[in-house]
Amino acid sequence: MASKSEVVITMLPNAQIVESVLFSETNGIAEYMSPGRMVIDMSSLGPNDSIAISEKLKSLEIRFADAPVSGGEPLAISGELSVMAGCDESDLEYIEEVISPMAASIVRVGEIGAGSTVKLANQIIVNVNIAALSEAVVLAKKYNIDLGKMHEAIGGGLAGSSVMEAKFPKMIEEDYSPGARSISIIKI
């Protein structure tokens, strides 16, 4: 299949799996791809991993972009993800054409590795917001505040955010199931 594909998109849990899919000795798809084809990796990897994968693909004359996403499952289902693309500027139009059905926005944030860096920055902001929201819920519960009313009262103000809209209803329902299956340890 890879030999007939113009582009391969990966969205996998970690760099080790991405590398295995691309470069495994027993069926790594990169060896079947023709020069000039492209891999768009939408996984959440560290920038150094993205750069290393890009270098291996470059030696095979295969183009690469690191294009991780933000928005979680709800926006993936509706095709409204935000994509942070690290790529050669000359590849951006092609990347937009390929992934636009799943994205509300596609922004080239720099060269290869930049997409992964911006995704890390995004996760810092999201996780700090989740931690703050959790603390606010604990405080409100301690004083027997109706969490639904609290959400209504502050959701439209300065504290309101996409994180609040995605996570507060789950906290009200005490649904603390994880939103992601894996966490990558990133060495900077």
Which two tokens mark 186? 């990133």
Taking a C-beta distance cutoff of 8 angstroms, is the pair 70, 122 a contact? yes
Q: What angle do CA 99, 161, 174 make, to 5 degrees?
A: 100
Which two tokens mark 5? 């594909």
Active-site positions?
Answer: 119
Taking a C-beta distance cutoff of 8 angstroms, is the pair 56, 22 a contact? yes
Taking a C-beta distance cutoff of 8 angstroms, is the pair 71, 42 a contact? no
Question: How far is residue 75 CA from its own chain's centroid?
Answer: 11
Give residue 113's region: left, alpha or beta (phi > 0; psi -120 to 50): left
